[in-house]
Structure formats: C-alpha cells, structure tokens
Homo-oligomer: A and B are copies of this chain.
Amino acid sequence: MPRQSASLDSATPGRIAATALALVDEEGPGALSFRTLAARLGVAHATVQRRCTDLAGLLDLCADHLAADVPDIPPGTDWDRATEIRFRRLYESLTAHPGLLALRGGRPWLGPQLLGRLVEPQLADSIRAGMTPEEAITAYRRMYLLTLGSATFVDHRDPKSSLAVTRTVLAALDPAEFPVLTGHLAAILPAVVDHEVFYGGLRQLVRAADPAGHARREA
C-alpha cells in the first residue's frame, strides 16, 4: 500500500485539535481516545499518538487551539476594558467545548497561543498601566484561576444535566437540616449555569486590581 499523502494532511496539529474538539463536543468527553480520534482522521491510532507524544499532549494541543480565539486589543484601550475582553473571550471559548477542561485536569497550561495572545499582552498592558511585575502577574493569575474554575464547573452546552442533577439532589434534602438550601431553591438553581456569576466576579477582580482605580482611591 502506498504511503497516502492524505494522511500527511489529515494529521496536522491543527486538524488533530479541531477534530478532537469536535469529537468531544458531539460524543462527550468519554468518547475521546486515540482510536476514535484516529478513526475520524482516517489514520492509525498510533500515528496520532506519536504526533502528540502523549494523551496529555493531545489535550494540551486542544486547549491551546482554543486560546487562539483571544483577540488582539487595539492600542490605547483602557486597561480594565482590555482585561475583561481577553478573559471573557477565553471563558467563552472554553465553555463552548465543555468537558475539555475537565479532561485536562490540573495540568499547567503553557501553550504558545495562551502565552502569546493572553499572558504576554496582558502583563505588558498591566505594567504599562503602572503595576509592578509582581502585581501584574498576581492579578493575572487570580483572573486566570477564576476563569478556568468557572469554565470547568459551568456546563454551558448541556445546562440540563448540571441543573438536573443539582435540582434532584437539592430537592431530596431534609428541610429541617437545610432550611436555606431548600427554601431558596428557585434562586439557587439558575446560578449554576448563569454566566453572569463569572462575568461579575471577573469585574470585581479587575476593579480591585485596576491601577487607575487604585490611584483614584488613594487620591
């Protein structure tokens, strides 16, 4: 059998990431494996494995593929606005592919797209706005952690499942032992899938770290 050049085109890192993301989206996180992915790509399972070195490498590839969505910010934009735009975009890209972050677990995320499109410009803007490098990295990391935590635990695409299991569990609680949880069910349930929980939290972290806000407060 001749070495089909179609394999070379099908197994490019970008195609691997995109195909893996589509697979997770369509068939759930549990359906992702080297074999199922290779079947979609039309190559042998060992091939895509060697491309990624590892299962963790495959997930890193997918994650960084999403970080490419973080937009460039026009120079001159206010620091707080630029910051919110970047993290909101990352959050939206991540929640558009639920299950991916869950699969990655706590693995450090140091892909070129994340570093180039988020970390580097965000730190540069922060220092330019008057923060020390320490303040800049600390503020960045807080927002990063909130963003990834939120994107991990908010299931946007399938709110039914998160909502359903939460509703079921909470409804079965003893009102005598959990008066607040059982008494305010109607207020609690929507928060499980409400993106404003993240957006508002991000805004609070941004305001707390804003150099302009600090200056204003100290004046």
- Interface, chain A (partner B; CB < 8 A): 29, 98-99, 101-103, 105-108, 110, 115-116, 119-120, 123-124, 127, 132-134, 136-138, 141-142, 145-150, 152-155, 162, 165-166, 169-170, 173, 177-181, 184, 187-188, 191-192, 194, 196-198, 200-201, 204-205, 207-209
Contact = CB atoms under 8 A, between A and B. Distances in A.
Contacts of A147: 149
A208 to B, nearest CB: 4
Contact of A142 (B103, B105, B201): B201
A186 to B, nearest CB: 8
B197 A142 contact: yes
A216 to B, nearest CB: 14
Indicate the member of A99, A141, A154 with the most B CB atoms within 10 Å: A141
A138 B194 CA distance: 9
B197 A208 contact: no
A150 B149 contact: yes
Contacts of A115: 173, 178, 181
Contacts of A152: 105-106, 148-149, 152
A148 B153 contact: yes
A146 B181 CA distance: 21
A155 B99 CA distance: 21
Contacts of A146: 142, 145-146, 149, 201
Indicate the member of A120, A137, A150 with the most B CB atoms within 10 Å: A137
Contact of A204 (B153, B180, B205): B205
Contact of A169 (B110, B173, B196): B110
A50 to B, nearest CB: 21
A200 B142 contact: yes
Contacts of A170: 110
A204 B179 CA distance: 29
A176 to B, nearest CB: 12
B145 A150 contact: yes
